[in-house]
Amino acid sequence: MGSFDLQKESLDNYSLTGRVFNRIREDILSGKYKQNEELKETAIGKELGVSRTPVREALRQLEFEGLVNIIPNKGAYVTGITEKDIKDIYVVRSLLEGLCARWAAENISNEQLEELDEIVHLSEFYAKKESFEHVVDLDNKFHEVIYTASKSRILEDTLTDLHHYVERVRKVTLAVRERAERSNTEHKDILEAIRSRDGKLAEKLANKHIMNTIKNLSNQKLADIIK
Amino acid sequence: MGSFDLQKESLDNYSLTGRVFNRIREDILSGKYKQNEELKETAIGKELGVSRTPVREALRQLEFEGLVNIIPNKGAYVTGITEKDIKDIYVVRSLLEGLCARWAAENISNEQLEELDEIVHLSEFYAKKESFEHVVDLDNKFHEVIYTASKSRILEDTLTDLHHYVERVRKVTLAVRERAERSNTEHKDILEAIRSRDGKLAEKLANKHIMNTIKNLSNQKLADIIK
DNA sequence: ACATGCATTATTGTATACAATTATACCATA
DNA sequence: TATGGTATAATTGTATACAATAATGCATGT
């Protein structure tokens, strides 16, 4: 317990609950906690050097993120994601990212366009260097900027949720150089459609972009991610 | 927004936190708490006869539902729903209810088809009697059955969230006899498309059905709901 | 009158204590 | 051995105590 004292970790998230939330979330997504594993408040609290209160609050929030399943008076369990769940998420995301790109084309600011430019260029660079953590990070950023640019809180929130949910998957899909580069080309196309304010095209391209991601993923790899 | 409310049951009746959650949620949706109003833990706890703990947990969860905005060390504030939010939700729902109807056409069981039959007939009856609480209730049920019939947990959870979000709106839209009857006709059409396993048609009809609801709503009424 | 600093108060953040519930282990009995 | 029951322990649920932070009010100086 002494080795990982949360109080001394990065101070970017100020409240303990927030830090505990991020930590548990990471541990689920990274696979440290397996599917259906029970998350006990005292154990986690002890490990992180905090009391049960922030752990409880974090678990309640994770339930709403869908990563944890709480059974009253029994416990909190890591929610399983099935292969079908992942495929469904990609179909839903495909529709919504399309809508989002369309709205972004209508509402994006010049600063945001520049931001996207930078992301795309950086991503190209890192993909060539096969520095895939950076690529994943930039992929996240690309989509997040578009979410914001859509100027729709509702759509942004919904998409952010779904996006988080498949973080595990994206780490794997983008860790192949060809896919990383292909993905970046698609990003570029979407960006250009948005820049030229062509909402319909942006929507179509975003639709395809998301579906390509999942198509690219073999069933074998999918199964590996799940279990 | 807290997306996948996997264990709605856990929030319903069993725990104090769940009841407090529902209560505050109701009070926000009913307009008892106004936009940007501060929700103080002690005050609410005193009013409901519970300690701060369940109130805190409920507020944290409401933040994930998007109804409350928590500023660390400051307080919890009611996040208003804007007119634009509502319109956006209907656009998003239109897309997703369409997808849902399509999947339902592929996966629905005979029992569920019968259930929908019953709902539609009952709803016709109550609309004529102008018993609009029943109509709203049956409208909810109709959509929920289709959500379940889609056999997609992801889609069901996402839609359920959005559905909850506009509860206020649906109460008003369906309280006009013509709209209630028209809505029911549309339900019937969707049901028949699903029954005949015509996914494409079901999708198109569901798309239109949702958009009709919002089109039918005057800006004046919308503004009234918000404030 | 206005701004500033300090003490006071209110409110949230975290830890702990106690109650309720559920899981476990052990013994008695057939 | 298998079954059932009861005591015990483990775990969650709720309340409360204490700490940290933010808001308020008042006195003071300019």
Of residues B8 and B47, which shows the higher confidence score?
A: B47
Residues A138/A119, Cβ–Cβ less than 8 Å: yes
Q: What is the side-by-side order of every strand in the sheet holding B68-71?
A: B38-39, B75-78, B68-71
* Interface residues 11-40 of B with strand D (CB < 7 Å): 15-17
User: Residue A4: is its pLDDT beyond 70?
Assistant: no
> Can you tell me the distance from the alpha carbon of B201 to that of B191, in angstroms, rounded to the nearest whole number?
10
Q: Which residue has the tokens 């970046």?
A: A184
User: Residue B76: is its pLDDT beyond 90?
Assistant: yes
User: Residue B2: is its pLDDT beyond 50?
Assistant: no
Q: Position B148: which residue type? A: T
Which residues of A sit within 8 Å Cβ distance of B? 14-15, 17-18, 56-57, 60-61, 63-66, 69-73, 79, 84-85, 88-89, 91-92, 95-96, 99, 152-155, 157-158, 161-162, 165
**Average pLDDT of the residues in B208-213:** 95
User: Residue B85: is its pLDDT beyond 50?
Assistant: yes
- What pLDDT does residue A81 have? 83
Q: Which nucleotide is nearest to B73 (CA to C1')?
A: C12
Q: Which of B4, B150, B160 to mutate to test the interface with A (most CBs of A within 10 A)?
A: B4
Of residues B146 and B223, which shows the higher confidence score?
A: B146
Q: Tell if the CB–CB gap between B4 and A161 is shorter than 8 Å.
A: yes
Q: Tell if the CB–CB gap between A95 and B95 is shorter than 8 Å.
A: yes
Q: Tell if the CB–CB gap between A157 and B1 is shorter than 8 Å.
A: yes
User: Residue A155: is its pLDDT beyond 70?
Assistant: yes
Of B30, B2, B7, B31, nearest to B18 (Cα)?
A: B7
> Can you tell me the distance from the alpha carbon of A151 to that of B102, in angstroms, rounded to the nearest whole number?
29
Residues B110/B215, Cβ–Cβ less than 8 Å: no
* Mean per-residue pLDDT of chain A: 89
Task: List chain A residues with CB under 8 Å of B206.
Answer: none
Token pair listed for B102: 């399509």
User: Residue A71: is its pLDDT beyond 50?
Assistant: yes
**Strand D reaches within 7 A of the A53 CB:** yes
User: Residue A179: is its pLDDT beyond 90?
Assistant: no
- What pLDDT does residue A8 have? 36
- What pLDDT does residue A173 have? 81
pLDDT band at B66 (very low <50, low <70, confident <90, very high): confident
**Average pLDDT of the residues in A95-124:** 98
Token pair listed for A96: 């919504």
pLDDT band at B166 (very low <50, low <70, confident <90, very high): confident
User: Residue B179: is its pLDDT beyond 90?
Assistant: no
pLDDT > 90 fraction of chain A, expressed in percent and rounded: 68
Burial per residue of A11-26, b for 16 or more beta-carbon CB atoms within 10 angstroms, e otherwise: eeeeebbbbbbbbbbe
pLDDT > 90 fraction of chain B, expressed in percent and rounded: 66
pLDDT band at A13 (very low <50, low <70, confident <90, very high): low
Burial per residue of B180-207, b for 16 or more beta-carbon CB atoms within 10 angstroms, e otherwise: bebbbebbbbbbebbeeebbebbbbbbb
CA of A192 to C1' of D29 (A): 62
**Strand C reaches within 7 A of the A123 CB:** no
User: Residue A152: is its pLDDT beyond 90?
Assistant: yes
State the count of interchain CB pairs (< 8 A) between A and B.
104
**Average pLDDT of the residues in B142-149:** 97
Average the pLDDT over each of A123-127, A168-172, B5-9 and give the range with the smallest value: B5-9
pLDDT band at B7 (very low <50, low <70, confident <90, very high): very low
* Mean per-residue pLDDT of chain B: 89
**Average pLDDT of the residues in A199-205:** 98
**Strand D reaches within 7 A of the A29 CB:** no
**Average pLDDT of the residues in B111-140:** 94
Token pair listed for B146: 């289709």
**Average pLDDT of the residues in A171-185:** 86
Q: Which nucleotide is nearest to A75 (CA to C1')?
A: D12
